[in-house]
Amino acid sequence: MIIQLAQRATQAQEYYFSVKLAEVRKLIAAGHDVINMGIGNPDQAPSEATIKALTDSASLANSHGYQAYKGIPALRQGIAQWYARVYGVALNPESEILPLIGSKEGITHISLTFLDTDDEVLVPELGYPAYRAVSEMVGAKVIEYPLLENQQWQPDWEAMKSLVTPKTKIIWLNYPHMPTGAPATRELFEKAVKFALEHRILLCHDNPYSLILNQKPPISLLSIEGAKEVAIELNSMSKSHNMAGWRVGWLSAAKDYIDAILTIKSNVDSGMFLGIQQAAVAALQNADEWHIAQNNVYRSRLDAAKAFLEALNCTYDQSQEGMFLWAKLPEKVASAEKLVDDLLYQKHIFIAPGFIFGPKGQRYIRLSLCMPAERIWQAVERLAP
């Protein structure tokens, strides 16, 4: 018997991957060779300069104390310089950048800062599950907005107008889109900023995939005129710099938004380890060639990943960006959930079912490229009759 749980704890569900990866570990412990193509966990290493900066800092006696809630000035300056170089966006490192212990925590900080009970949040009908889960945990009401599959999974802006009420507070946006891989475009972002300005809604853009297999120059929502009036952009080093376990991210926004979120954040953590911050500074200075080499590795895996999907008779869009492939199941497959379980327990291959990203994903699966090409080819071989 335990003390009665809070309502939010009884309503929240354990993260799908937390449950499924426990099953994967059990199979591995039983001696099975499981090929895990389910999660976006980068298998490449950060740059040598990143690791050296961490070890150099960690060896110093004065590197282990509490750090500022806003991060060290060098990190904020490094982020500002990176945004200028990569996106052509000017940010004030003192007032428009807030480092985070991974951008995922930023979803919670933003929600705690701006949402009251029964406020409404617009989330895409396919998207990162945390947008929905955190909104519900803070007592807000989730309203799904439609995405247009035949228009590269863009939001249906006309349909969204009917969803806005006086209680609508936040809209979550994420391009390049996860899980569909739909690319970001300037036209999309212009429509999003216009919509947020017209309806006075906080536009929260999650932007961790813009450097992975991007087919066009990366773009930031904050490059759009008027965006800083209504927008916050989250970014992360997890995917772009192979630092998922390091937990380094940030949010960028106008000073008033940063100050408000900092009020919440300062009551939650005590700053990021200095060595990791200094390593992030080094990583942000990676040469273009480093990112090209990383993408060449991902690109080398595409043929195998596409062969895997084709062996399942799935269809997919060739224009996808990011570290995943999103594919539609053939009509003869009864359900994504059954297929995923059959592959896991009969072929010892783990992939993600599309429904975990929203109800519109019932007929889809998602494949991760965070696995050596030879392992993906092994998975293709296992599908042979």
Question: pLDDT digit of tens for each residue in the chain (385 aa)?
Answer: 578 878 777 776 666 777 778 888 999 999 999 999 988 899 999 999 999 999 999 999 998 998 989 999 999 999 999 999 999 999 999 999 999 998 889 999 999 999 999 999 999 999 999 999 999 999 999 999 999 988 999 999 999 999 999 999 999 999 999 999 999 999 999 999 999 999 999 999 999 999 999 989 999 999 999 999 999 999 999 999 999 999 999 999 999 999 999 999 999 988 899 999 999 999 999 999 999 999 999 999 999 999 999 999 999 999 999 999 999 999 888 888 889 999 999 999 999 999 999 988 989 999 999 999 999 999 999 998 7
Residue pair 291/246 in contact (Cβ under 8 Å)? The answer is no
φ, ψ for residue 308, nearest 5 deg: -60, -45
Residues 73, 203, single domain; the answer is yes
Identify the CA nearest to 118 among candidates 141, 143, 144, 142: 141
Element (H, E) at 195: helix 186-199
Domain limits at 35? 7-45+288-382
Shared-domain flag, residues 279 and 229: yes
Within this chain, do residues 145 and 103 fall inside the same structural domain, yes or no?
Answer: yes
CA distance 145 to 159: 8
Does one domain contain both 348 and 333?
A: yes
Q: How many structural domains compose the chain?
A: 2
Are 224 and 143 within one domain?
A: yes
Residues 82 and 203 in one domain: yes
Q: CA–CA separation, 260 vs 346, rounded Å?
A: 51
pLDDT at position 96 = 98
Domain endpoint, select from 261, 283, 305:
283
Q: Are residues 279 and 230 located together in one domain of the fold?
A: yes
